Amino acid sequence: MNEQIYYTKNLPFYGKYDVIVVGGGPAGVCAAISAGRLGLKVLLAEATGMLGGMATAGLVQPFMTVYDRDGDEPTVGGIYREIIERLDEFSAVVYPEETDSPSIYTSFIKKYHRHVTPFHSYMLQVVLDKMVQEANVEVMLYTRFSDCICEDEHIKYLVLSALEGLISVSGEIIIDCTGNADVAAASGVYTYKGDEESGVPQPATLMFEVGNAEYQKSERPTLPVKAYRTPRKGVYSVNHYHVYSVDATNSKSMSDAHRCARLQVLDAYRVLREETPGFENCELFQVASVLGVRESRHIDGVYKITVDDIAKGTKHSDRIAVYVFGMDVHSRNKNETGNFKIEVAKRYYIPYRSMLPKRVNNLLVAGKTISCESQAAGGLRCMPCAMAMGQAAGPAAFLSVNTKKTVNEIDISMLQSILKENKAILD
């Protein structure tokens, strides 16, 4: 695309907010809820027609482990825990303390897959709708980030593509939860993709669900297809094949990958029916509307989380979350074996500085695109970890707005105090 045109247009100004959260996935909803509960005027913009991101539109489940490496103690509380308690009101979840590995709910890998959380994806949509409404968050679905206008390392306006057309909005603090670091990249923050040497990201997967199925044993077999029992009897979530070298920031790459993944779904479904005991009469229940992307851009942040941090459990003084999942790096090409090659600490910690991009003073980034090494991202990309980061971004924005300081200058001890008051786990 070398040819260019010049385009100018006056955009309607939609409104001014304390906080604008871009992206309504696991990180974004928790960021919006936590900011709204602190009394801030919050706008949450989401590109699809539902909140929840990969957990709903992407059908990714279960929520991966929220316990330490050995399965002894929880690592994620706060809004994540509240969400699963709300799901329990609809009998739409299995609590993590009730699951272990290997089992029908988990992988055959015992370590790192202990205490996962199966859930009902549609009921999660309903729960999230209710929670953002209670927090007085203004939600705009079907609204995609397009661009931003910056001045002196400060984002003055966001340009959003709404159903009405392009609109502009302004916010004191912007929280990028797009999963692609779209706002960060557009604002001039340096970003990088995939593996540091090759630039190749982890592969993508299209999730789907089957019904009328049941393994004949309490432990799922290693082969032939990765199927995980949901809270609904006979309904399994399937996470199987890979699409390689997908650039999640490129429409053609994503289009080609999604078409390939749809054919993979049919093949996996065939293998389930023909080769998997208990699945002979299974039916294709639903297929995710969006492709599951494990890795996209990472920001250049004030601090880059390293593989060594994850392996040794570096206890950062500015930690805002605790998590433990193995550095699960799926093979970057079909000729390699991947996954858990490096041992992790019993617990590891997410520093606030990794959410702070360089060069922009009113932007926070939460979710899998934070500043970290690609291998380390294999352990940080899971949805409960994103929720914990999102919960931290909300009060960080609150402190910035209330004290008139930049997000880089806020009092970390005050941020940690607010998080602990709201049942987040930091130690």
Reported as a single tens digit per residue, the pLDDT across 206-229 is 999 999 998 766 555 555 678 899
- pLDDT of 106 reads 82
The band of 112, judged by pLDDT with boundaries at 50, 70 and 90, is confident
In CATH terms, 13-100+118-197+297-421 corresponds, of 3.30.428.10, 3.50.50.60, 1.10.10.410, 3.40.720.10, to 3.50.50.60
In our burial notation (b when 16+ CB lie closer than 10 A, e otherwise), range 211-238 reads bebbbeeeebeeeebbbbbbbeebbbbb
Report residue 219 as tokens.
């432990």
Window from 54-63, 90-99, 266-275 with minimum mean pLDDT: 266-275
- pLDDT of 427 reads 95
Residue range 232-250: mean pLDDT, rounded: 92
User: CA 391, 361, 412: angle at the middle one, nearest 5?
Assistant: 45
Q: What percent of the chain has pLDDT over 90?
A: 80
The band of 306, judged by pLDDT with boundaries at 50, 70 and 90, is very high
| H or E stretch at 254 | helix 251-275
Q: Token pair 């996996």 is at which residue? A: 268
Report residue 262 as tokens.
């749809």
Window from 328-337, 373-382, 407-416 with minimum mean pLDDT: 328-337
Reported as a single tens digit per residue, the pLDDT across 318-366 is 999 999 988 777 777 776 666 667 889 999 999 999 999 999 999 999 9
The band of 79, judged by pLDDT with boundaries at 50, 70 and 90, is very high
- Name residues whose C-beta falls within 8 Å of residue 191's C-beta, 6 or more positions apart in sequence: 181, 184, 185, 297, 298, 299, 300, 369
**Residue 1: is its pLDDT beyond 90?**
no
Count Cβ atoms within 10 A of the Cβ of residue 91 and give its class: 0-12 exposed, 13-18 middle, 19 or more buried.
exposed
For residue 301, give the 3-state DSSP assignment: strand
**Residue 157: is its pLDDT beyond 60?**
yes
d(CA 185, CA 227): 36
Q: What percent of the chain has pLDDT over 70?
A: 95
How much is the mean pLDDT over the chain?
Answer: 93
Task: Find the DSSP H helices in 351-423.
Answer: 374-380, 383-403, 412-421
- pLDDT of 340 reads 60
**Nearest to 119, CA basis, from 78, 74, 80, 79:** 80
Residue range 12-25: mean pLDDT, rounded: 98
Window from 50-59, 190-199, 300-309 with minimum mean pLDDT: 190-199
The band of 296, judged by pLDDT with boundaries at 50, 70 and 90, is very high
Of 1 and 272, more confident? 272
d(CA 238, CA 221): 13
- pLDDT of 175 reads 98
